């Protein structure tokens, strides 16, 4: 760290997670170039507070910059909204008050996504310290069944019903063991290549309409945590996606998105990462769709912002998946930038 220039812990506390990381990284940067690049990206990623760049400790804000920037919530939010409009991040004006599900998962990808999810559920069900992670994965599985354009709606509905039950039971200590038993049972479900289950899997497809989603999803942290680094309880990223030494260490989706948004992938990496990145895109999109259904618990007066940001998360996740499948490095870059923008904006307003 540079002399006379200490990281401001107060600022670090106040910054949303990826920004806090970048801020620390800028402070710990060894070379001028690294410091400049990180600070530039910090400035870019912050979007809402351009005042953080270029002053104070040359590349970072001083405490007085931050005091000046410590606006009240309403004012910060209006700045956020202004920047959202400025950067064209705003969602297309939608007038639907009850969020609907968008069937964005291609029928070809639904079976693979579901199989991976069931595998993770099988592993988590064995561990009595993983109730929250089990809950998160069960909810993501339920999210897949609502986001897929599946032909066999009865199997999807059966999976969903069990998944929601696992999530509900895992939310309470008293029923956590029961949740693990049911999860082990759920993980036994076998799907064919088209996502079809056997007779036992099927249930009345209309069941999805009666789910109280905000209640079933409950604590939003459980569906967000999979995106954190493995050390912080995240699910980690596939080896194909660990394209830098730093990412190998960080091993998380959030860190991956930050790396992807900082510099466009090479064509060779885009090719190598295609399938696993496509999976990440659809997972992030599904988490966005679930986030939208949950709605805010805090700052409820800003529900519109929550809705817009979760729609951007969902749709940019879809963009990422589609771009990854096409091995289109420029579009991967663009989608990742939008994603990081929405993580930062939403955390700033609601976390």
Cβ of residue 66: shortest distance to ligand HEC, in angstroms? 22
Q: Which stretch binds ligand HEC (CB under 6 A): 169-177, 181-189, 271-279, 304-312?
A: 304-312
CB atoms within 10 A of CB 96: 7
In angstroms, the CA 41 to CA 51 distance is 13
Nearer to ligand HEC, 269 or 336 (CB): 336
Closest approach of ligand HEC to the CB of residue 310, in Å: 4
Pick from 45, 113, 237, 313 the residue near ligand HEC by CB under 6 A.
313
SS (H, E, C) 21-36: HHHHHHHHCCCHHHHH
Q: Closest approach of Cβ 26 to ligand HEC, in Å? A: 20
CA dihedral angle for residue 328, residue 334, residue 339, residue 342, rounded to 10 degrees: -160
Closest residue by Cα to residue 273 from 226, 233, 238, 308 = 238
CA angle 217, 220, 226 (to 5 degrees): 105
In the list 114, 147, 201, 309, the residue contacting ligand HEC (rule: CB under 6 A) is 309
Q: How far apart are CA 259 and CA 326, in angstroms?
A: 19
Q: Is 151 a residue that touches ligand HEC (CB under 6 A)?
A: no
CB of 292 to ligand HEC, least distance (A): 7
Rounded CA separation 102/228 (Å): 25
Site mask, ligand HEC, residues 237-276, x = CB under 6 A? -----------------x--x-------------------
Using the contact rule CB under 6 A, the part of the chain among 37-45, 270-278, 319-327, 340-348 near ligand HEC is 340-348
Which two structure tokens, joined as six digits, stand for 197?
Answer: 């289950």
- Based on DSSP, count helices (H) and strands (E) in the chain, helices before strands: 16, 0
Is residue 335 within 8 Å of 323, Cβ to Cβ? yes
Q: Which is nearer to ligand HEC, 20 or 339 (CB)?
A: 339
| Candidate residues 189, 228, 260, 279; the one interacting with ligand HEC per rule CB under 6 A | 228
- The token duo for 36 is 């400049």
Neighbours of 78 (CB within 10 A): 11
Q: Which is nearer to ligand HEC, 148 or 258 (CB)?
A: 258
SS3 content of the chain, % helix, strand, coil (to 5): 70, 0, 30
One of 159, 227, 285, 321 touching ligand HEC (CB under 6 A): 227
**Of positions 39, 291, 302, 348, contacts ligand HEC by CB under 6 A:** 291
Residue whose C-alpha is closest to residue 242's, from 273, 217, 219, 266: 273
CA 212 to chain centre: 22
Interface stretch with ligand HEC, choices 93-101, 120-128, 218-226, 318-326 (CB under 6 A): 218-226
Residue 105 forms beta bridges with which residues?
148
Q: Which of 224, 237, 321, 323 binds ligand HEC (CB under 6 A)?
A: 224
Closer to ligand HEC at the Cβ: 168 or 342?
A: 342
Which of 160, 283, 343, 348 binds ligand HEC (CB under 6 A)? It is 343
Binding region for ligand HEC (CB under 6 A) out of 4-12, 72-80, 122-130, 308-316: 308-316
Q: Which is nearer to ligand HEC, 109 or 308 (CB)?
A: 308
Task: Tell me which of 60, 241, 284, 329 binds ligand HEC, using CB under 6 A.
Answer: 284
CA triple 107-108-112, angle to 5 deg: 110
User: Greatest CA span in the chain, whole angstroms?
Assistant: 69
Please give the residue ranges that form the binding site for ligand HEC (CB under 6 A). Answer: 220-221, 224-225, 227-228, 233, 254, 257, 284, 291, 306, 309-310, 313, 339, 342-343, 346-347, 350-351
């Amino acid at each position: 760290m540079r002399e006379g220039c200490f990281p401001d812990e107060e600022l670090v506390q106040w910054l949303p997670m990826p920004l806090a990381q970048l801020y620390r990284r800028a402070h710990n940067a060894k070379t001028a170039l690294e410091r400049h690049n990180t600070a530039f990206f910090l400035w870019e990623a912050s979007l809402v507070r351009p005042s953080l760049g270029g002053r104070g400790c040359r590349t970072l804000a001083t405490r007085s910059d931050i005091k000046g920037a410590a606006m009240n919530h309403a004012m910060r939010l209006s700045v956020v909204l202004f920047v959202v409009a400025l950067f064209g991040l705003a969602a297309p004006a939608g007038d639907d008050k009850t969020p609907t599900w968008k069937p964005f998962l291609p029928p070809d990808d639904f079976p693979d996504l579901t199989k991976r999810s069931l595998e993770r559920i099988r592993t988590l069900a064995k561990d009595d310290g993983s109730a929250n992670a089990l809950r998160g994965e069960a909810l993501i599985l339920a999210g897949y069944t609502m986001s897929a354009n599946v032909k066999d709606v009865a199997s999807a509905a059966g999976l969903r019903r069990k998944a929601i039950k696992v999530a509900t039971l895992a939310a309470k200590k008293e029923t956590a063991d029961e949740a693990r038993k049911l999860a082990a049972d759920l993980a036994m479900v076998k799907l064919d290549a088209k996502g079809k289950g056997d007779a036992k899997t099927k249930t009345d497809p209309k069941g999805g309409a009666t789910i109280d989603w905000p209640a079933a999803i409950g604590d939003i942290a459980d569906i967000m945590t999979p995106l954190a680094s493995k050390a912080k309880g995240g699910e980690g990223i596939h080896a194909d996606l660990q394209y830098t030494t730093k990412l190998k260490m960080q091993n998380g989706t959030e860190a991956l998105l930050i790396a992807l948004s900082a510099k466009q992938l090479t064509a060779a990496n885009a090719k190598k990462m295609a399938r696993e990145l496509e999976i990440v895109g659809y997972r992030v999109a599904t988490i966005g769709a679930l986030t939208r259904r949950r709605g805010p618990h805090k700052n409820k007066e800003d529900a519109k912002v929550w809705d817009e940001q979760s729609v951007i998360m969902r749709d940019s996740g879809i963009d990422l998946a589609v771009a990854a499948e096409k091995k289109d490095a420029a579009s991967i870059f663009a989608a990742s930038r939008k994603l990081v923008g929405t993580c930062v904006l939403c955390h700033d307003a609601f976390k």
